Structure 1
Amino acid sequence: MPHSSKYLDRIAGSSGGQEYKQQAFVALDLQPGQVVLDMGCGPGTDLPVLAEAVTSTGSVIGIDHAAIFVEEARERVAAMPWVQVRVGDAHQLPLEDDSVDRARADRVIQHVEDPAAAMAEFRRVLRPGGIAVIAEPDWDTLATGPGDLEVNRAFNRFVCAVRVRNAIVGRQLPGLAEGAGLEVLDVFASTPLLRDFRLASKIYGLNRNTARAVEAGYIDPAAAERWVAELKAGPFVATCTVYVAVLRNAG
């Protein structure tokens, strides 16, 4: 499910996005002088916060597979020379072994071809004692109201089967980490609650993915129309669980 830079910035700026991001930043335990990797940095939404935490005595490396995002991220941190942004693949990070103190990925593993390989790359580039914090949603937990429960479930089945490559990877993070040789220090969940249908529709794709689910035969057209109308009429609520795993290279 490709995203625009505006979409990524919108999630980061939403109340739900800020909630789990703040928890993840605390768990990352950033200190001045550290080398930090932001894997899948996108348009650089979070790079300035990382750079301020490690100060100019440290360094931040943002890596993304999309050249257009890398260019945008470079512009965003142009005044911070201790931040580097590179094009790279999560399965083969352009970094030396044992080269970073901290690493993070925010809603990235859900899109990669091989989550286990990406997790192994975290293990490879982290120095002994280094910490990684990975945040991923679990799209099967998307719950909305009001409206038909079965349509909500059909919407989730469509998103998990068609729109997101690794849709339930959030709940799989501990197992992937242990398989890569990383120590699981903590796992916690954030369940941000949205009450604005328009914002939730932009973040979760309620309008566009309902239309796609109808085209794909997952939802009856009339049922889809009723469901969206009921959500818009409200009082609207929506939540989707975000898992955050705090991991360590025990060396």
Structure 2
Amino acid sequence: MSFLARRATDAVEEMDRPDCDPATLRRTYSQFALVNRAVSGWRRAYLRQLRPRLAAAAAGGPQRPATLLDIGCGAGDVARSLARWAAADGLPLAITAIDPDERAYAYAASRPAVPGLAFRQAFSSELVAEGARYDVVISNHILHHLSPSELEGLLADSRALCGSLALHSDIARSALAYVLFAARTLPFFHRSYIRRDGLPSIRRSYTAGELRRAVPPEWKVVQDSVFRTHLVFEPPAAPRA
């Protein structure tokens, strides 16, 4: 598949258009939870990477829950899953989930409330300007949407905002990912943007090697699976007194 040899940065996703159909967009938001449960791997990331950091942060004192920021939260389903998993583990966790798109924010905020989870329409740069700080910063499927300058801004904001870990999870471009997604979604999602935007998303996404060349050296690129990459930053440990 020669068209996958390079990132298709000019590929357009319909749901990113300001004039896309509102009913189709809402159906798409409603289906994100299903798609993310199937392909995003956040349960594994929670168990292996997030939970240990959040538990250590929450152990710092009974009056302080661990804190997590979800940047570009979309429909909010990943943040909701993390809140439920933490609650099931008895882990005090306060999650702030942000998205600058008023349509995404409106949908996420309209869903039933989850204890410890708050939604906000905002850019990460606004939180930096406010002096906000979180134990863990995450995002799901936003890296491939960003221009080089926007990626640089996201990484700078993430460094400023995270106290323990920043983890940005995204699609890994490959022929296998493209073929499997095309085949498995063919019978479904005809009344939403899931399939028609999912294929351009794969084309726009980075390979692990491309992502390593695009980010500063203090960021670690991990090939989580053939379908997914993690971009990880861990602040240097403070020197002991």
Which TM bucket (shorter chain)? Answer: 0.5 to 0.7
| Gaps in structure 2 of 5+ consecutive residues | 1-12, 16-24, 59-64, 181-195
Report the counterpart of residue 206 of structure 2 in structure 1: 169
Question: Are the equivalent residues in 1 in contact too, given 2:159–2:233 (CA < 8 A)?
Answer: no
Deviation track 1:59-95 (CA, whole Å, cap 9, x = no partner) reads: 1100112212212222335242x322111225x2424
Q: 1 CA distance for matches of 2:207 and 2:154?
A: 14
Counterpart in the other structure of 2:35: 11
Equivalent of residue 72 in structure 1, options 96, 102, 107 = 107
Task: Determine helix, strand or coil for the equivalent of 1:139.
Answer: coil
1:189 is the counterpart of 2:224 = yes
Q: 1:177-196 CA deviation, whole Å, 9 max, x = no partner?
A: 535xx453x713223xxxxx
Q: Aligned residues, how many?
A: 178
TM-score (norm 1): 0.59
Task: Say if 1:166 and 1:143 are closer, same or farther in 2 by CA, change over 3 A.
Answer: closer
* Alignment root-mean-square deviation, CA: 3.2
Q: Which residue of 1 aligns with 2:193?
A: none
Q: 2:216 aligns with which of 165, 178, 185?
A: 178
Residues 1-251 of structure 1: pairs in structure 2 closer than 5 A? 1=13, 2=15, 4-14=28-38, 16-17=39-40, 20-25=41-46, 26-29=48-51, 30-31=54-55, 32=58, 33-52=65-84, 53=86, 57-80=92-115, 82-90=116-124, 92-95=125-128, 96-97=130-131, 99-113=133-147, 114-127=150-163, 130-141=164-175, 142-144=177-179, 163-164=200-201, 167-171=204-208, 172-179=210-217, 182-184=218-220, 187-191=222-226, 241-250=227-236
Identity of aligned residues (%): 16
Distance 1:56 1:144 in 2: 39
Q: What is the CA–CA distance in structure 1 between the aligned matches of 2:69 and 2:207, rounded to whole Å?
A: 20
Gap runs ≥5 in structure 1:
146-158, 192-240
CA radius of gyration, larger in: 1
Cα contact 1:136–1:244 (8 A) shared by 2: yes
How far 1:5 sits from its partner (Å)?
0.4
How far has the Cα of 1:56 moved from its partner?
8.1
Aligned mates of 1:144, 1:60 — CA distance in 2: 35
Q: Kindly tell me: are residues 99 and 10 of structure 1, through their superposed partners in 2, closer, same or farther at Cα, counting changes over 3 Å?
A: same
State the distance in 1 between where 2:105 and 2:156 align: 23
Structure having the larger proportion of residues in strand: 1
Per the TM alignment, residue 166 of structure 1 is displaced from its structure 2 partner at its CA by: 8.4
Residues 1:6 and 1:75: Cα distance change in structure 2 (over 3 Å): closer
- TM-score normalized with structure 2 length: 0.61
Q: Per-residue deviation at 1:249?
A: 1.8
Alignment partners' CA distance in 2, 1:139 and 1:122: 23
Answer yes or no: is the 8 Å Cα contact 1:48–1:77 preserved in 2.
no
